[in-house]
Amino acid sequence: MKRFALFLLLTSIATANINAQDTDSITAIDKIAQEHQLPDEHPGGWNFDVIFSPKKESKHWYPRQVLNFSVGFIGGVNQAEGVRLNMGQSIELELGNILTAQTPVGRNGIVLAGLGIGWRNYRMTNRQMFAKHDDGSISVEPYPEGADPKFSRIKTFGFILPLKYCHKVGRGRRTFFAVGPELYYMPHASLKTRYRTEEGNQFLKDNKLHFNKFSVGIGAEFCVQGLGVYYKYNPFNLLDTDYGPKFSTMTVGLKVAL
C-alpha cells in the first residue's frame, strides 16, 4: 500500500513537471514566432496626407518627403512662325504635392495623386513681341521701328494634379523614379511687353487673354536623397488658337524634396 501511494506521488510530480516544461516550450515558441513574424506586404488602400507622406513606421516603401519645390526651364515645341521662346529665360516655379493620396503597388512601388501650385513665364527676347488687339486676338509682331526690345512674355498661374507611378531604386527610401500624366488648371494668364524708345521705357500689359485653362501633359523624374531632375511635355497649345499663335511646351528642371 505504501509503495502504491509513493508511485502515485512520483507520477503526479513528473506529470506536473512535464506540463510546466510544455508550457515553457510553447511560450518560448510563441515568442520566437512573434519576433520573426514577417510584416504585411503593404498596408493596402489609399493613404491621404497633407504636405508630408506616411510616417516612418509604415511597413511599405514610401518616398517619405513628398512636398517638393521645382525650378524648370521652358522650351517651345511646334511653335508658330514668329514665336521663339527663350529657354534660358522662360521659367516655371512649382510647389508640388501639397496634398497627396498614395496607394502601394507591389513592394517597391506606389501610385501617387497630388495637388500643387505653379507659375510659368513664357518669354521671348528676340525682335518679335506678343501683341493684344481690340478684338481679343494675340499676334506676334515686330517691335516699333527704332525700339530696343527687352522682353515680351505670357505668364500663367494655376494648379497641377499629377498621377504618377513611383518606384524605389536600391535600398534607400529616397532614391526613386516616377512617371505619369499631369492635369493642369490655369485660371489666370497675363501678357506683358517691355521695350525702350527715345521717350523711355514702354510697357504693354493685359490680364484678359484667351488661353487654354485645362491641359494634360506627361512628366518623369528621378530623385536621389531628396534631389532630382525632371522632364515635362505638354502637347496642348497655351493660347486658344482661335485668338493666338500655336505653340506647346516642354520643361527640363531640378527638384528639391522639402
pLDDT tens for residues 160-178?
999 999 998 877 667 899 9
Q: What is the pLDDT of residue 16?
A: 52
Residue of 140 and 172 predicted with greater confidence:
140
Grade residue 257 by pLDDT with cuts at 50, 70 and 90: confident
| Cα-based distances in Å from 202 to 147, 149, 195, 198 | 9, 10, 5, 10
Neighbours of 221 (CB within 10 A): 23
- What's the whole-number average pLDDT of the chain? 82
In angstroms, rounded to a whole number, what is the distance separating the alpha carbons of residues 123 and 1? 112
Q: What is the pLDDT of residue 58?
A: 53
Grade residue 79 by pLDDT with cuts at 50, 70 and 90: very high
In angstroms, rounded to a whole number, what is the distance separating the alpha carbons of residues 249 and 74? 7
204 and 191 in contact (C-beta within 8 Å)?
Answer: yes
Q: What is the mean pLDDT of residues 82-89?
A: 94
Give the pLDDT confidence of 182-232 residue by residue, as tens digits: 999 999 999 999 999 988 999 999 999 999 999 999 999 999 988 999 999
Q: What is the pLDDT of residue 44?
A: 52
First vs last C-alpha separation in the chain: 86
Residue of 257 and 203 predicted with greater confidence:
203
Residue of 24 and 100 predicted with greater confidence:
100
Beta strand 175-197 pairing with 128-132:
unpaired
Beta bridge partners of 59: none
Neighbours of 112 (CB within 10 A): 23
Question: What contacts 48, CB < 8 A, 6 or more positions away?
Answer: 99, 100, 101
Beta strand 248-257 pairing with 91-105:
unpaired
Q: Which of 41-55, 95-109, 125-139, 186-200 has the lowest mean pLDDT?
A: 41-55
| Cα-based distances in Å from 153 to 14, 35, 191, 200 | 94, 63, 6, 20
Helix (H) / strand (E) element for 4: namely helix 2-35
φ, ψ of residue 110 in degrees (nearest 5):
-140, 155
Residue 225 per-residue DSSP state: T
**Does residue 11 register a pLDDT over 80?**
no
pTM (2 d.p.): 0.76
Residue of 133 and 106 predicted with greater confidence:
133
